[in-house]
Amino acid sequence: MSAAGGRALSAPLMGRDGEPTLFELSEPGRSSWQLRTTGVPDWSEDELIPSGHRRTGPVPLAEVSERDLVAHFTRLSHRQFSVDLGAYPLGSCTMKYNPKVCDTVAALPGLAGVHPAAPASTVQGWLALVVELEEALCAVTGMAAATFQPAAGAAGELTGLLLMRAYHESRRETRRRVLIPDSAHGTNPASVTLGGFQVTTVPSDARGCVDMEALRAALDTDVAGIMLTNPNTLGLFEEDIAAIADAVHEVGGLLYYDGANLNAILGVVRPGDMGFDIVHLNLHKTFATPHGGGGPGAGPVAVSERLVDFLPGPRPVRLGTGEGSPEGGRPDGAGEGRPAHAGPPGAARYGWATPARSIGRVHSWHGNALVLARALTYIRVHGGDGLRRVAERAVLNANWLRVRLAGSYDVPFDRPCMHEVVLAAASLKRRTGVRALDVAKRLLEEGFHAPTVYFPLVVDEALMVEPTETESLQTLEALATAFERIAAEADEEGGLEAAHAAPRTTPVGRVDEARAARTLVPTYDARP
Amino acid sequence: MADYLPHTETEVGAMLAFLGLGSAEELFAAVPAALRLAGGLAMAPGEPEPDVLAHMESLADANRAHRLVCFAGAGAYDHEVPPVVRALAGRSEFVTAYTPYQPEVAQGVLQAVFEFQTMAARLAGLPVANASLYDGASALVEAVNLGTTAAGRQTVWVSAGVHPHWRHCLATFSRGSGHQVVEVPLEGGVTRWPDEPGEPVGPGAEPPGVLVVGYPNYLGCLEDLDAARRLADAHGALMVVAADPVAAGILRSPGDAGADVVVGEGQPFGTALGFGGPYLGLFCCTLAQVRRLPGRLVGETVDVQGRRAYVTTLRAREQDIRRERATSNVCTNQTLMAVTAAVQLGWLGTAGLAEVALRCARGTRYLREAVVAVDGVELLTGDAPVVRELALRTPVPAATVVERMATEGYLAGVALDALTGADGDGSVTADDAAHGLLVAVTERRTRAELDGYVAALDKAVRS
């Protein structure tokens, strides 16, 4: 068998010293900036800015040479794990390989160089791109239309909840509660509060799914809707989803689909067919746009027919279909919303439209557009058949790990999982004292990124593993072997101490998080 | 078959056998058969990468805006982004990492964000900056959420000089949060605050818990921050300043003027125009508000051996721990743009940032002096001092001017009605919105381009 491509133990992390901050590399009078020659008269600051508004001195930044700048950030990059370096089985985060062609697309001057307020006649390619992506995502989700303004999943959630609010208000109904399973991501309840609703938590049953009894007991006409992740955060498909949808719809509530785990069901089942009314997608998970160390993401929201009129506006639309266009909006009368001017004959024409009962704008402009271009590229390379294969391989990989590791770790819900498997270190901890956190830190020493730990909250000592479809069997073998070795070593003499000492091979060892919070140093200037 | 999946068919067969399954379809046994998609997705089959790249290039070629000399701004600016910044910010270690949940293997991103926070805080004149929010609008919304919580009052006075799109976002999200947003109109390009602290703004308005002002405001004018601070103090309100981070290179810092929170759009620091995103929401505040801070914050600490290390901190504010009582729902932010800003500000340095701001002001002055010679063109905000952006009034509708100048090779600016809507708002009347043209001049605009712009404008307003 060939070697594991996803194991990063050969990465040459040089030396044991820390990297100085840019401010410590600074030398007064040194510089790297170069600006173009403009020929514009060099009026002084005094001539340009009224005295009461002028700074007393320049903003103190670092003063470094270009050579030092490059060395500094290159060395910082060497202190950073990434998908490009090795396997990143971080549950719920879908850290799959990010195709390089998408970088090329996102850097095309015809996309990257476009000002967001340029008139529609000059951005026909961008409008066509967004409309094409909308059609693709509607095909994947079984929805009628989508907004691309939300910049991340949580922004999509809040947008969805405001859509829910607007829908109920349009029917002159005041509904105050939104149901959320106890296994949900933290963004769900936080978004519910910001949406002006109250959270009602629905417990999971012994199978790890929504407890139908508890759900029915919680449902009444005060319920605006339910937010579900399916497969849920335990990596399990909510098999009762049709019954859940019926029950929620029966009291007049709406179903919100948190798309964090959509990767598992691409081409297999669509949220729309499960009965969902509102869906957000995480393009930075399912559609392989890189996460940038914490963002940017993109959290488009797709909705069923009855909610299209409430979508944020303005939206890119195809023009020329006249009244009753499938996009269901009126062409805007101003600026970016102005209908496109006539282009060459036969060319597809696109413009902007604001839905009749739009909740309004949720982004400064049109959302994280360059992320959208990457996602469309990824989707076109895969096509409908390839996306289905993505789901199959993701689920195959997760189940392979589940079966392989069942002898070394607890599998709290030991039945076929979807794209991720939630293991637990509860027995290991009872037996050896080694906790989920220690397992995570040991895995770093083994050349892998750690899984998500202590989530979902309903599992004690949770280790949430999502290998994704882009890791090979050889990498899974190596990852499983590492997991097994960690468990076996925990049982040995001195195993607990060794686990506590991990990670020993990384640029820094375990960090003192309590001190960071107790003695807050949020900037270089706050250092003691 | 064109994709990025490593499995050979032999391996797939072996893995299925390991699981005791006969086919891939059986992996989805938990999905009720009645719900499963018959016949696959209604989408074209996959295409080889080169074909897809050609398609994406054809979409890019169908745009024209990037080939025009850019005089558009309104929060998105055509600043110099040197090759060194593109190269460093594009390093795949930064690009393909996730949120730094394991600090031992994420010191690169964590330290870069720490350096970003330091520079953002220095710009704002405040001690704390977070790791980023989505964009300027989301930073404003979060600032208002913080301010109303801190003040214990839901009423917010927002200057009509704050970017119209940001105000639109605030209105959208206020439907959920319950804020009462009162727009305070402009007069002569700057906010006309109530003369007396007790004077109501709009019928029946309560005293504000938060007051928001732009600096400079979206029309390019310099607001009186001291007056805003006095008014905020009179009401016990927090003062939020929506500041342009480039102009901050030569302007008095909002923190010096007593701002409690400073928000801004960080796109000018190394991020592409990109049709509006991904951009960078800047958020800075006082130490008094740090426990209400939205989103992530990186702090310095030590590792077990006492070595300097960085970690996300004050985590108890955040959604994954505090859930429905979190200070914000933000999780994924715009870290890569924050890292990019750290690199760009590192490249500019102390002198470079001041120089960029100064050159913007010079170009704006040059245009302002030249443009009044064009027959029928006036300065919309009269004599009010402007720094890096100015609003013109054109004799024909500004949208027409923009279309006409596009055929001459210029992106002439942003028609004000594209921002405010056709009816105008508290910043401009409907007529001024239709005839108002917001023009930005960055350090990249040459004298020849400025002269060409004025000539093209002269032609565009005549016909």
Comparing A199-203, B60-64, B201-205, B403-407, which segment has the lowest mean pLDDT? B201-205
CB distance A61–B350 less than 8 Å? yes
Sort out which chain A residues have CB atoms less than 8 A from B302's CB and list them: 511-512, 515
pLDDT beyond 80 at A341: no
Q: Terminal CA-to-CA distance of chain A, rounded, Å?
A: 54
Whole-angstrom Cα distance, residue A354 to residue A90?
Answer: 38
Q: Check the CA dihedral A396-A399-A401-A407 and report its sign.
A: negative
pLDDT score, position A286: 97
Does residue B197 have a cis bond before it (omega within 30 degrees)? no
The model's pLDDT over B277-291, given as tens digits with 9 standing for 90+, comes to 999 999 999 999 999
Mean pLDDT for A135-154 is 98
Mean predicted lDDT score pLDDT of chain B: 95
User: What residue has token string 């003691």?
Assistant: A528
The answer to whether the Cβ–Cβ distance between A522 and B121 falls below 8 Å is: yes
Residue of B nearest to A92 (CA): B98
Query: Cβ contact (<8 Å) for A79 and B145?
Result: no
How many CA atoms lie less than 13 Å away from A120 in the CB half-sphere? 29
Which of A188, A364, A404, A444 is the best mutation test for B, with the most CBs of B within 10 A?
A364
Gap from A6 CA to chain B (nearest CA, Å): 11
Question: What's the DSSP call for residue A247?
Answer: H
The residues that bridge with A225 in the sheet, in sequence order, are: A178, A254
Task: Give the pLDDT confidence score for residue B202 in this predicted structure.
Answer: 62
CA distance B13 to chain A (A): 10
- Residues of chain B numbered 41-80 and touching chain A (CB < 8 Å): 41-49, 52-53, 55-66, 68, 70, 72, 74-76, 78, 80
Inter-residue contact B93 to A84 (CB < 8 Å): yes
Q: Which residues contact B199 (CB under 8 A, 6 or more apart)?
A: none
Tell me, yes or no, if B373 comes closer than 8 A to chain A by beta carbon. no
Residues ≥6 apart with Cβ < 8 Å to A322: none
Q: Name all domains of chain A by residue range, CATH numbers in brackets.
A: 121-370 (3.40.640.10)
Cα–Cα distance, A442 to A499 (Å, whole number): 6
Residues B236 and B256 sit within 8 Å (Cβ to Cβ): no
More confident residue, B348 or B385: B348
Of A123, A162, A242, the CB nearest to B32: A242
Where are the strands (E) in A367-456, listed by range?
421-424, 452-453
B317, B326 contact by CB (below 8 A): yes
Residue B49 in tokens: 């990468």
Option in A48, A194, A269 nearest B31 (CB): A269
| DSSP one-letter code for B155 | E
Quote the CA–CA distance of B85 and A70 in Å, as a whole number.
9
Exposed/middle/buried for A321, CB within 10 Å: 0-12, 13-18, 19+? exposed
Judging by DSSP bridges, how do beta strands A315-318 and A350-355 pair with one another? antiparallel
Closest CA to A354 of A369, A338, A371: A338
Compute the nearest-CA separation of B239 from chain A (Å).
Answer: 18
Q: Is the pLDDT of residue A119 over 50?
A: yes
pLDDT of residue A333: 42
Which uninterrupted H or E stretch holds A347? none
Query: A112 vs B317, which has greater pLDDT?
Result: A112
Provide mean pLDDT across the span B301-310.
97
ipTM over 0.95? The verdict is yes
- For residue B276, pLDDT over 80 is answered with yes
What is the pLDDT, as a whole number, of residue A342? 41
CB-CB under 8 Å, B331 with A154? yes
* Chain A residues within an 8 Å CB radius of B34: 242
Residues of B in contact with A290 (CB under 8 A): 95-96, 336
User: Contact, B353 vs B249, CB < 8 A?
Assistant: yes
Burial of A390-404, coded b for 16+ CB within 10 Å and e otherwise, reads: bbbbbbbbbbbbbbb
Contacts of A119 in chain B (CB under 8 A): 65, 399, 402-403, 406
Residue B39, C-beta contacts closer than 8 angstroms, at least 6 positions apart: none
Residues 6+ apart with CB under 8 A from A518: none
Q: How many CA atoms lie within 13 A of A518 on its CB side?
A: 6
Distance CA A320, CA A322 (A): 5
pLDDT confidence of residue A1: 64
In this prediction, residue A345 has a pLDDT band, given cuts at 50, 70 and 90, of very low
pLDDT for res A343: 45
Q: Is the pLDDT of residue A14 over 70?
A: no
* pLDDT at residue number B315: 87
Q: How far is B303 from chain A (nearest CA, A)?
A: 4
The shortest C-alpha distance from B205 to chain A (Å) reads 21
Angle at A322 between CA A318 and CA A325, to 5 degrees: 60
Q: Exposed, middle or buried by CB within 10 Å (0-12, 13-18, 19+), for B370?
A: middle
Q: How many CB atoms lie within 10 A of CB B400?
A: 16
B387 touches chain A (CB under 8 A): yes
Instruction: Assess contact for B355 and A48: CB atoms under 8 A.
Output: no
Confirm or reject contact between B30 and chain A (CB < 8 A): yes
* Residue of A511, A513, A525 to mutate when probing chain B, most B C-beta within 10 A: A511
For residue A162 the two structure tokens come to 């405001």
**Amino acid A421: pLDDT:** 97
What does the pLDDT read at residue B293? Answer: 96
- Calpha distance A258→A229 (Å, rounded): 5
- Measured in degrees and rounded to the nearest 5, phi and psi for residue A243 equal -65, -40
For chain A, the C-alpha Rg in angstroms (whole number) is 26
Split at pLDDT 50, 70, 90, the class of A328 is very low
Judge: B30–A367 Cβ closer than 8 Å, yes or no: no
- Are residues B137 and A364, on separate chains, in Cβ contact within 8 Å? yes
The residue whose two tokens read 């985060």 is A93
- The answer to whether A464 contacts chain B (CB < 8 Å) is no
One-letter amino acid for residue B39 of the chain? G
Kindly report the backbone phi and psi dihedral angles of residue B371, in degrees, each rounded to the nearest multiple of 5, phi listed first: -75, -25
**Angle, CA B27 vertex, CA B23 and CA B31 arms, to 5°:** 125
Residues 343-382 of A with CB under 8 A from B: 359-371, 373, 376-377, 379-382
Q: Which residue type does B344 have?
A: Q
CA distances from B423 to B392, B426, B429, B431 (A): 18, 10, 7, 8
pLDDT confidence of residue A142? 98
Using pLDDT thresholds of 50, 70 and 90, give the confidence band for residue A344. Answer: very low
Count other Cβ atoms within 10 Å, centred on residue A492. 10
- Residue A16: per-residue pLDDT: 77
Q: Which residue among A76, A338, A525 sits closest to B108, beta carbon to beta carbon? A: A76
Confidence of residue A329 (pLDDT cuts 50, 70, 90): very low
Sign of CA dihedral A358, A364, A365, A370: negative
| Distances, alpha carbon A464 to alpha carbons A353, A398, A409, A451, B189, in Å | 42, 10, 12, 6, 55
Whether residue B233 has pLDDT greater than 90: yes
For residue A340, the model assigns a pLDDT of: 40
CATH of B67-81+349-462, picked from 3.30.565.10, 1.20.1740.10, 3.90.1150.10, 3.10.450.40, is 3.90.1150.10
Residues 132-191 of B with CB under 8 A from A: 132, 134-138, 145, 163, 165-166, 168-169, 171-173, 175-178
Question: Which of B12, B35, B351 is nearest residue A242 as measured by Cβ atoms?
Answer: B35
Tokens of A350: 């696109």
- pLDDT(A419) > 90: yes
Pair B394, B401: CB distance under 8 Å: yes
The closest CB to that of A363, out of B24, B137, B299, belongs to B137
Q: Which of residues B204 and A216 earns the better pLDDT score?
A: A216
Q: Where are the domains of chain B?
A: 67-81+349-462, 84-342
Could you tell me the fold of the domain covering B84-342?
Aspartate Aminotransferase; domain 2 (3.40.640)
CB B146 within 8 A of CB B293: yes
The whole-number pLDDT of residue B320 equals: 82
Mean pLDDT of all residues in B251-274 = 98
CB pairs under 8 A between A and B: 757
* B62 contact residues in A (CB cutoff 8 A): 110, 124-125, 128
| 8 Å CB contact between A372 and A141 | no
Considering only A239-248, A422-431, B188-197, B202-211, which range has the smallest mean pLDDT? Answer: B202-211
Note the pLDDT tens digit of each residue in B335-370. 999 999 999 999 999 999 999 999 999 999 999 999
**Which chain A residues have a beta carbon less than 8 Å from that of B106?**
80-81, 293
Predicted local distance difference test score (pLDDT) of residue A422: 97
pLDDT at A185 over 80: yes
Q: What is the mean pLDDT of residues B71-83?
A: 98
What per-residue confidence (pLDDT) applies to B322? Answer: 83
Distance of alpha carbon B277 from alpha carbon A296, whole angstroms: 9
Whether the pLDDT of residue B50 is over 90: the answer is yes
From chain B residues 295-354, the ones with a CB under 8 A of any chain A CB are 296-305, 307-311, 313-316, 318-326, 328-337, 339, 342-343, 345-354
Contact A48 B346 (CB under 8 A): no
* Stretch A244-271: mean pLDDT: 97
Placement of tokens 């001459």 in the chain: B408
pLDDT in tens, B171-223: 999 999 999 999 999 999 999 998 765 666 665 668 899 999 999 999 999 99
Q: What's at A481, amino acid-wise?
A: T
How much is the pLDDT for A6? 79
Neighbours of A334 (CB within 10 A): 22
Question: What is the Rg, in whole angstroms, of the alpha carbon atoms belonging to chain B?
Answer: 25
| Mean pLDDT value of segment A25-53 | 96
Question: Which residues, 6 or more positions from A28, have their beta carbon under 8 angstroms from its beta carbon?
Answer: A63
- Going B433 to B435 to B436 to B438, the CA torsion angle's sign is positive
Using 50, 70 and 90 to split pLDDT, how confident is the model at A336? very low
- Is 0.80 surpassed by the pTM of this model? yes
> CA of A70 to nearest chain B CA: how many angstroms apart?
7
Say if CB A33 and CB A473 are below 8 A apart.
Answer: no
Q: Is the pLDDT of residue A458 over 70?
A: yes
**Strand segments (E) across B307-412:** 308-312, 378-379, 389-393, 410-411
Task: Please give the pLDDT value at position A272.
Answer: 97
Find the mean pLDDT for residues A433-455.
97
Residues B109-144: pLDDT tens digits?
999 999 999 999 999 999 999 999 999 999 999 999
Q: Which of A140-144, A329-333, B75-79, B377-381 has the lowest mean pLDDT?
A: A329-333
Q: What whole-number percentage of chain B has pLDDT above 70?
A: 97
What DSSP line would sit under B59-97, residue for residue?
A: HHHTB-GGGSEE---TT-------HHHHHHHT-HHHHT-
Find the closest chain A residue to B308 by CA distance.
Answer: A18
CB within 8 Å: A81 and B102? yes
**CA A46/CA B358 separation, integer angstroms:** 10
Please, is A182 exposed, middle or buried when counting C-beta atoms within 10 Å of its C-beta (0-12, 13-18, 19+)? Answer: middle
Q: Where do we find the tokens 């951009």?
A: B279
pLDDT > 70: percent of chain A: 93
- Asked if A123 and B65 come within 8 Å (Cβ–Cβ), the reply is yes
> Rounded to whole angstroms, how far apart are CA atoms A245 and A257?
11
Nearest CB among A85, A517, A526 relative to B127 is that of A526
- The contacts of residue B31 (CB under 8 Å, 6+ apart) are A237, A239, A265, A268, A269
Predicted confidence at residue B205, as pLDDT, reads 66
